[in-house]
Structure 1
Amino acid sequence: MEPHISARLLHSVEELTLVRELEGMVWEADHPLPIHQTITAVKNGGIVLGAYDEDKLVGFQYSFAGFDGKKAYLCSHALGIHTDYRKCGIGEMLKRAQRDEAIKKGYDLITWTYDPLETVNANLNIKKLGAICSQYIENCYGEMLDSLNAGIPSDRLLAEWWINSDHVAETLGHNGGAQVTVTDCSTVIKVNINDQGYPVPVETITSLTTKDVRLLVPVPAFYQNIKGHDLSLALSWRMATRSVFTHYFQQGWQVVGFIKNEVAEHEKTSSVHYYVMEKNK
């Protein structure tokens, strides 16, 4: 039986203590946020949401107020889900609840960073939620020692979620927004499959222009599998995607979509998904 999960705002020391315990379980290598930090954020424009299976906390989302000198926004810092409750749609549910609460507080922008090679996150952030990206941050957090990040520069995309925009409303209302196919676009990384069946970036293309309506950035569907088998190949993917994202963002392009290939079991190792970029109007 599928669990019945509900989300609610968290305010008390007792609730935030449970969040800290869950955070410590999800990211074992990191020190969880102190309660005095999260409770101060909640009292000053931040939001902490909990996902509950009846009375059990199984997921959380933590965000705090941000300001860049010109604009106030909500900075979405951490989203964690209990290992027994992955693939239950809790991440999307928490983000939708976060949007609702942020609108009530008067925000129109939520930002966060994520690894562009983690395609589960890309599928949620871009395809399901309608975030856009136009900033690439090299080695954002420096050297990270946890199992997901060790050995690879911690590059990140900055996701911008304009929560009152037509684009976001369309995406949320139509389960992924307008459909784009691979044949509609020009690809900026040429990919071959090596003898082990893994996708290899063999050439980056930085000569495409505004005459191309959409551009595709391929990324491996299962990056952690590659990282576990061939660290040098994983690093090649980091450098190739860093090169094209940095170049095209500087030319005024932005990520507006994500194409997830549905592949057969025997093709999973070699498959790639695609970011969709359009010229910023």
Structure 2
Amino acid sequence: MNFQESITIRMLYSAEELTAVKDLESLIWADEDPVPVNHSVAVVKNGGMVIGAFSGARLIGFQYSFPGFDGTNVYLCSHSMGIDPDFRKMGIGEKLKLAQREEALKMGYRRIEWTYDPLETVNGYLNLSKLGGVCTKYIENCYGEMPDILNAGLPSDRFLVEWNIAEETSRLRSESMVIHEIPHLIDVEEDVEGLPVAKNVYLNYEEKANFLYVPVPNQFQMIKSKNLEVALEWRLKTREVFTHYLSKGWAVTSVKKSDHPTLHHYVLTRNFHNGVKEN
């Protein structure tokens, strides 16, 4: 039996299981303040869910969600998902999200929302290109200052993702686009260490194209560890671009992987509504 076949995904309910989730959360984020077990127990009893991924008896990943309400509709708020560092890049995050979709539909939910750092392109590719989520809102410094190892030192800007789980919305359509034929909204140069540096931004393409590309680094944590100033410039330049175009009705619909050694590209789509591009 290979490794992928040995992974099991299931809902978690007991205080013992949820204590293991708290311990894994502390490991992943080096965080001294994970979600308390008594809180997660209450969540799973009141419309939320915690899903675990196991290798044998070992918990190697989790997904944690609770109910949300926007004043009109109830939705599922997907608060956090984490994978043990020893088991990353094995598709476990996608397995957890698909299980979340299945369980949420059983519970009557039609929409799932969550936030993620737009400069974490692995998450972006899963959230937008593979699952079919859409981002129409950029939140500046969403969680304030965060001291954990992945977020410390930079504003906690986030994309808000909406996932319409009542429809099959996976979209890999951007793979057919040719990079040089689409306008790019940030100029990128390399510094003396070979790191990509964000330079000029372009905010004048509202009526000139149906698709736009936003280049972003494909290894943001590496950039952050080597040069925090370069990382901050990426945060501020991408913030400027995304807040501008999303305020004009554009949506972030996918991540275009590239052969470039340091960059991927977000795809902005004009007149995008409910998963369908309107002409």
Q: TM-score, normalised by structure 2?
A: 0.92
Deviation of residue 30 (structure 1)?
Answer: 3.8
For residues 177 and 65 of structure 1, the distance between their equivalents in structure 2, rounded to whole angstroms, comes to 31
Does the Cα contact within 8 Å between 1:184 and 1:214 map onto a contact in 2?
no
Q: Which residue of 2 aligns with 1:133?
A: 135
SS at match of 2:61: strand
For 1:147-158, what aligned pairs fall within 5 Å after superposition? 147-158=149-160
- Would you say 1:64 and 2:66 are equivalent positions? yes
Matching residue's letter, 1:97 = A
What secondary structure sits across from 2:3 in the alignment?
coil
SS at 1:186 equivalent: coil
Partner of 1:253: 250
Give the Cα–Cα distance (whole angstroms) in 2 for the partners of residues 193 and 5 of structure 1.
41
Contact 1:192/1:201 (8 A) holds in 2: yes
**After the TM superposition, which residues 102-121 of structure 1 pair with which residues of structure 2 at under 5 Å, given as runs?**
102-121=104-123
For 2:192 and 2:174, the matched residues in 1 are separated by 36
SS in 1 for 2:52: strand
- Determine the structure 2 residue equivalent to 1:163: 165
Equivalent in the alignment of 2:93: 91
Kindly state the Cα deviation for residue 165 of structure 1 after the two structures are TM-superposed.
2.8
Give the aligned length: 269
**Residue 2, structure 1, aligned to residue 3, structure 2:** yes
Sort the Cα spacing of 1:238 and 1:114 in 2 relative to 1 into closer, same or farther, 3 A: same
8 Å CA contact 2:25, 2:31 repeated in 1:
no
- By how many angstroms is 1:24 displaced? 1.7
Who is 2:269 aligned against?
278
What CA deviation, in whole Å up to 9, does each residue of 1:73-129 have, x standing for no partner? 000011111121111111000000000111111111111111111111111111211
- CA-based RMSD of the aligned residues comes to 1.5
1:25 Cα deviation (Å)?
1.5
1:177 shift after superposition: 4.5
Write the distance in 2 (CA, Å) between the matches of 1:65 and 1:184. 42
Contact kept, 8 Å, 1:185 with 1:213, in 2: the verdict is no
Secondary structure at 1:31's aligned position in 2? coil
* Contact 1:181/1:259, CA 8 A, preserved across alignment: no
1-side partners of 2:174 and 2:237: how far apart?
A: 27
Structure 2 residue aligned with 1:222: 219
Deviations 1:29-79 (A, max 9, x none): 241111111111111111110111122211110000000111110000111
CA–CA separation in structure 2 for the residues paired with 1:262 and 1:42: 43
Cα distance between partner residues in 1 of 2:153 and 2:27: 22
Matches within 5 A, 1:43-62: 43-62=45-64
Query: Which one-letter code corresponds to 2:268 in the other structure?
Result: M
Q: Please, which of 202, 212, 237 is the counterpart of residue 240 of structure 1?
A: 237
Q: TM-score, normalising length from structure 1?
A: 0.91
Question: Hey, what's the Cα distance between the residues in 2 that align with 1:133 and 1:184?
Answer: 23
Q: Structure 2 counterpart of 1:211, which letter?
A: K
The runs of 5 or more residues in structure 1 that have no matched partner are none
Q: Judge conservation of contact 2:30–2:149 (CA < 8 Å) in 1.
A: no
Quote the offset at 1:274 in angstroms: 0.4
In structure 1, the residue matched to 2:186 is 189
Residues 178, 193 of structure 1: CA spacing in aligned structure 2 closer, same or farther, 3 A cutoff?
A: closer
Q: Aligned with 2:71: secondary structure?
A: coil
Deviation at 1:206, TM superposition (A): 0.4
2-structure distance, mates of 1:201, 1:82: 31
Q: Percent identity?
A: 48
Structure 2 SS opposite 1:191: strand
**Distance across 2 between alignment mates of 1:184 and 1:100:** 38
Amino acid at match of 2:133: A
The match for 2:275 is none
> Unaligned 5+ residue runs, structure 2?
273-277
Question: Counterpart of 2:42 in structure 1: which amino acid?
Answer: T
Q: Distance in 1 between matches of 2:182 and 2:104?
A: 35
Residue 198 of structure 2, aligned match among 196, 201, 218: 201
